[in-house]
Amino acid sequence: MQKPENIPTEIDLTRPSAARVYDYFLGGAHNFEIDRQLAEQIAAMTPNLAATMRSGREFLRRAVRVLLDAGIDQFLDIGSGIPTVGNVHEVAQAANPEARIVYVDIDPVAVAHSRELLAGNDRAVAVHADLRDPKLILDGARDSGLIDFGRPVGILLAGVVHFVPDADRPGDILATLRAAAAPGSFLVISHSTFEDQPQEMLDAQRLSARTATEITLRSRAEISGFFGDWTILEPGVVHMPLWRPDSPSDVDEHPERFGAFGGVARHDRPGG
C-alpha cells in the first residue's frame, strides 16, 4: 500500500486502526482502505453499528453540555480518536469560547489528523499517549498549559476503557485519573457491554481483535465501579440513549441494541 502524503513513515497501514474505523462509521474522512474493509465486515454482521457509533457521540455531546452547565470549562478527552463534526471542542467552545480541551489518543495517525484539524485553535490540543499510562496523560495535559488540575475538570472516557483488558488493571488506571482531579470535577464514561446483547453483536465485537485495540465487554456493575466513590448523576449508568435524552422521541424502542452503557459522576468528596 502506498502511504499517503503527510502520514508518518512509522505508521502501519496494513493493519486497521480502531480510531479510523470509528471515524469511518461517524462519516469522517480520516480513514484508509484497510479500515473501511474491516468496518464493512463489522457492518455486515451488525447493520445498526453506525447508529451505535452515532449514539455514543450523541451521549458524549449531551454529557459535555451538562458539564458546561455545571461550570466546567476545561476538558480532558482520553481516547478521543479523530475529532469529527460535533466533537468536544466544537460543543464546548460554542457555549464558552474560553473552554479548553486536551484530546488524547493512542493512534499517532489520529493525533496527527487532530493536530491538523485544531491548527489555529489555541485552546485545544492533541496529545499522543496511551490510557494505560495515566501519569503520562496527566503530565501531558499539565504541560499543554490548558488543564489546571487544581480546578474542576471534565475527564471524558467515551468508548475507550473497553480497549483496556483486565490484565492491565483498568480500575487502577481510573483511580489514578480520579485522584488527580479537584473536587467539583466530573467523569464521563461510555463502555461496551455484553448485557442484553444478541449473539451477532458479540460476534462483531470479536472482530475488534484484528485491530491493535481489542474490546473487552463488561457488565453494568463493572462499568459503574470505574466511577469509584464519586457521585453518579441521575439516571445512573444506563444504555446510552436513556442518559438525559434531548427529547423523549430521541429514545429508541430498544435502547439496549446500541450495546453500551453510559454514565456521568461528580467528585463530591475530598478523598477522590
| Average confidence (pLDDT) per 10 residues, the chain, 272 residues | 52 74 79 88 73 86 98 96 80 97 90 86 96 98 98 96 95 98 98 81 62 80 98 97 89 82 91 49
Pick the CATH number of 50-203+219-267 from 3.40.50.150, 3.30.360.10, 3.40.50.620, 3.30.1200.10: 3.40.50.150
Helix and strand numbers (H, E) in the chain are 9, 8
Note the pLDDT of residue 272: 47
- Whole-number pLDDT of residue 48: 66
Q: Can you give the pTM of this predicted structure?
A: 0.85
191/188 Cα distance (integer angstroms):
10
Cis before 16? omega within 30? no
Exposure class string for 212-223: b at 16+ Cβ within 10 A, else e: ebbbbbbebebb
**What residues does each domain of the chain span?**
50-203+219-267
Q: Phi and psi at residue 203, in whole multiples of 5°?
A: -65, -40
DSSP code of 29?
A: S
Give the pLDDT of residue 39: 86
